[in-house]
């Protein structure tokens, strides 16, 4: 799939949008008061979910390619915003919490490094514009 | 709100994740076969929805600040992927379809330009890494 399309449609008189792609259930988007009514995801939260799931997918895929068993993975993305416009993220902290019986520090470090350098598309599109720091834990 | 957090949790043995931020309903994330089962949004679709809603919000806010009435806005984001890893977007086309009785081309061009240059955080975080082209129509 080389082309991907999505749409956001304004649905009230403030800043509430309905987001949609393919045949997936709509995502409600809104801003916190006073700009919006806080009734949906903020666009920056969606960006963090996009990055967390994209990097999580590449990390789990790489670990499996190393022959490792991954029984669980939780990726937390935490962004610190700039003080001036544009109010995007200065830094994002990505924490990979992996559950596995046979993964050691070298494996997870290598999987995170390859995701950052080569395989995670969302990470690549933010690179140089946002500082992305990583941490991990193995359970 | 200067810090924003979100989380993606692997929920099956392929690449299905549950995305979550604040108290909003979860977003199901998945890849198309063979990697996943196509049961949710791909991370790149979420990125496009984030960009479409973020740029849509800044455009509508700027138009309202110009004293204009916006009765509808639909933003379509279409991304063309790279052929090699990382398989992110080479280009994204953003189409702003605005419904209004008092907006002319100068207004909408100015609102899009200010969003790109100064106000849209998601746009700013992709800049220089992805070519973002814009079009618009007024109804």
pLDDT of residue A51: 98
Within 10 Å of residue B118's Cβ, how many Cβ atoms? Answer: 14
pLDDT of residue B1: 58
**Which of A3, A5, A8, A82 to mutate against chain B (most B CBs within 10 Å)?**
A8
B6: closest chain A residue by CA = A77
Tell me which residues of chain B, numbers 104 to 133, contact chain A at a CB-CB cutoff of 8 Å: 118-130
pLDDT of residue B89: 98
Pairing of strands B89-99, B131-138: parallel
Which helix (H) or strand (E) element contains residue A79?
A: strand A72-81
pLDDT of residue A105: 96
Q: Give contacts of A35 with chain B, Cβ < 8 Å.
A: 57, 61
Chain segment A9-21, per-residue pLDDT in tens: 999 999 999 999 9
Contact in structure between B89 and A18 (CB atoms under 8 Å):
no
Please indicate if any CB of chain A lies within 8 Å of the CB of B92: no
Torsion sign, CA atoms B37, A127, A71, A101: positive
Place of tokens 């973002």: B132
Chain segment B76-133, per-residue pLDDT in tens: 999 999 999 999 999 999 999 999 999 999 999 999 999 999 999 999 999 999 999 9
Kindly list the distances between the CA atom of residue B34 and the CA atoms of A3, A81, A135, in Å, as whole numbers in the listed order. 18, 37, 30
| Minimal Cβ distance to A43: which of B50, B61, B127 | B50
pLDDT of residue B2: 79
| Minimal Cβ distance to A48: which of B21, B87, B129 | B21
Chain segment B1-48, per-residue pLDDT in tens: 579 999 999 999 999 999 999 999 999 999 999 999 999 999 999 999
pLDDT of residue B59: 98
Confidence of residue A2 (pLDDT cuts 50, 70, 90): confident
Beta bridge partners of B19: B8, B27
CA A15, CA A32: separation in Å to the nearest integer? 10
Chain segment A86-112, per-residue pLDDT in tens: 999 999 999 999 999 999 999 999 999
Kindly list the distances between the CA atom of residue B115 and the CA atoms of B38, B42, B74, B118, B134, in Å, as whole numbers in the listed order. 33, 26, 16, 6, 11
pLDDT of residue A100: 96
Q: What is the pTM of this model?
A: 0.97
Report the mean per-residue pLDDT for chain A. Answer: 97
Pairing of strands A72-81, B3-10: antiparallel
**Torsion angle in degrees (nearest 10) through CA of A8, A14, A15, A16:** -60
Chain-chain contact of A53 with B70 (C-beta, under 8 angstroms): no
pLDDT at A1 over 60: no
């Amino acid at each position: 799939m080389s082309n991907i399309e999505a749409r956001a449609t304004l649905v009230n008189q403030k800043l509430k949008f309905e987001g949609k792609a393919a045949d997936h259930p709509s995502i409600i988007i809104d801003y916190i008061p006073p700009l919006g009514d806080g009734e949906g995801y903020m666009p920056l939260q969606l960006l963090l979910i996009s990055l967390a799931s994209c990097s999580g997918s590449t990390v789990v895929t790489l670990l499996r390619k190393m022959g490792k068993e991954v029984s669980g993975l939780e990726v937390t993305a935490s962004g610190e915003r700039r003080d001036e416009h544009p109010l995007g993220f200065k830094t994002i902290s990505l924490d990979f919490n992996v559950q596995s019986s046979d993964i050691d520090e070298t494996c997870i470090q290598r999987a995170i490094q390859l995701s950052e350098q080569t395989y995670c598309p969302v990470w690549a599109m933010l690179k140089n514009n946002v500082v992305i720091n990583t941490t991990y834990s193995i359970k």
